[in-house]
Amino acid sequence: MPIFTRRVRALAVTLAATAGLAVPMPAQAAPSKAFVALSDVAPSILQDIRYDTRHNFVGRRIDGYRQPLCILTRQAAEGLRKAQAELLRQGYTLKVYDCYRPQRAVDHFVRWAKDLADEKMKAEFYPDVAKDRLFADGYIAEKSGHSRGSTMDLTLVRLPPPFQRPYVPGEPLQACFAPRDQRFPDNTVDMGTGYDCFDPLAHTDNPAITGTARQHRDLLRSTMAAAGFRNLPEEWWHFTLNGEPFPDTYFDFPVSRGSLH
């Protein structure tokens, strides 16, 4: 992309943010120096970028994910580095499932949700939710805070990280809220449900989550809060940086190192 074009688009983002406008940005690159690869800031954080794979609620690689890469605003990445330092002292590491999410990926989710015949991943991710309720119940929306670059989905892994086998497309699916030893064998600690579980049990403070899983949720939330992040109450894995730098801008550059400059 020509340097002049990049500068014009970066200026448009700044002006939109200043004016409080919600502006989708079709640019093929992130604003200069505003976004970073998390691995360059906090390389010890594990990455399992599910939307770059077929192991997600759609069942295919999502539009806009060209590499299994966590991209965040620089401020959000630095906040995660702080949280990671605290968790390492306690014998844990963070693992991210999703970070910046381009608008085209959100649009993919919306198209999928409207196709009521496509339920191939229902048994794992939304076994008790009718697909025609996904919008009304708030599981799918036309905008996502992830597209602003300072929201991420993450969990905890006990050190040293256990082996995690790859997902095999077409393998039998288990409900995301089944007992831990019956769910997909993620190498994370028990959080009471798997990632992207469309169920009330995924609500951070659901009283049915007790014991070790409750302790893990509380540890993740308190550590992230101390590092400057707030949790989405409906999803134990979802956090947003307080004072995010682009609160009203929804970006659409692809998830790729080539988008960073």
Asked, for residue 241, whether it belongs to a domain, the answer is yes
Query: Which segments within 11-70 are labelled E, that is strand?
Result: 23-25, 35-37, 46-47
Asked, for residue 17, whether it belongs to a domain, the answer is no
Compute the distance between CA of residue 212 and CA of residue 201 in angstroms, rounded to an integer: 15
Asked, for residue 19, whether it belongs to a domain, the answer is no
Which band of pLDDT confidence, cut at 50, 70 and 90, is reported for residue 16?
very low
Residue 5 has pLDDT above 70, yes or no: no
Compute the distance between CA of residue 216 and CA of residue 232 in angstroms, rounded to an integer: 16
Residue 153 marked in a binding site: yes
Asked, for residue 144, whether it belongs to a domain, the answer is yes
Compute the distance between CA of residue 76 and CA of residue 243 in angstroms, rounded to an integer: 10
Place of tokens 């360059």: 40
For the chain, give the number of residues. 261
Asked, for residue 21, whether it belongs to a domain, the answer is no
Specify the pTM.
0.89
**Per-residue model confidence (pLDDT) at position 27:** 62
Residue 112 has pLDDT above 80, yes or no: yes
Give 185-236 as a DSSP string.
Answer: --SSPP-SS-TT--SGGGSTT-TT--HHHHHHHHHHHHHHHHTTEEE-TT-T
Q: Give the three-class secondary structure for 172.
A: coil
Compute the distance between CA of residue 35 and CA of residue 77 in angstroms, rounded to an integer: 9
Compute the distance between CA of residue 139 and CA of residue 32 in angstroms, rounded to an integer: 32
Asked, for residue 14, whether it belongs to a domain, the answer is no
Asked, for residue 136, whether it belongs to a domain, the answer is yes
Residue 146 marked in a binding site: yes
Which band of pLDDT confidence, cut at 50, 70 and 90, is reported for residue 21?
very low
Mean pLDDT of 155-159: 98
**Per-residue model confidence (pLDDT) at position 175:** 98
**Per-residue model confidence (pLDDT) at position 261:** 80
Residue 190 marked in a binding site: no
Beta-carbon contacts of residue 53 (< 8 Å; ≥ 6 apart) = 61, 68, 167
Residue 8 has pLDDT above 60, yes or no: no
Residue of 124, 142, 171, 235 with catalytic role: 235
Helices (H), the chain: 3-19, 38-41, 74-89, 103-114, 122-125, 211-226
235 is catalytic: yes
Task: Give the total number of structural domains in the chain.
Answer: 1
Asked, for residue 170, whether it belongs to a domain, the answer is yes
**Per-residue model confidence (pLDDT) at position 15:** 45
CATH code for the domain in which residue 151 is found = 3.30.1380.10
pLDDT digits (tens, 9 = 90+) for 80-111: 999 999 999 999 999 999 999 999 999 999 99
Q: What is the DSSP letter of 140?
A: S
The domain in which residue 118 lies consists of: 33-257
Residue 260 has pLDDT above 50, yes or no: yes
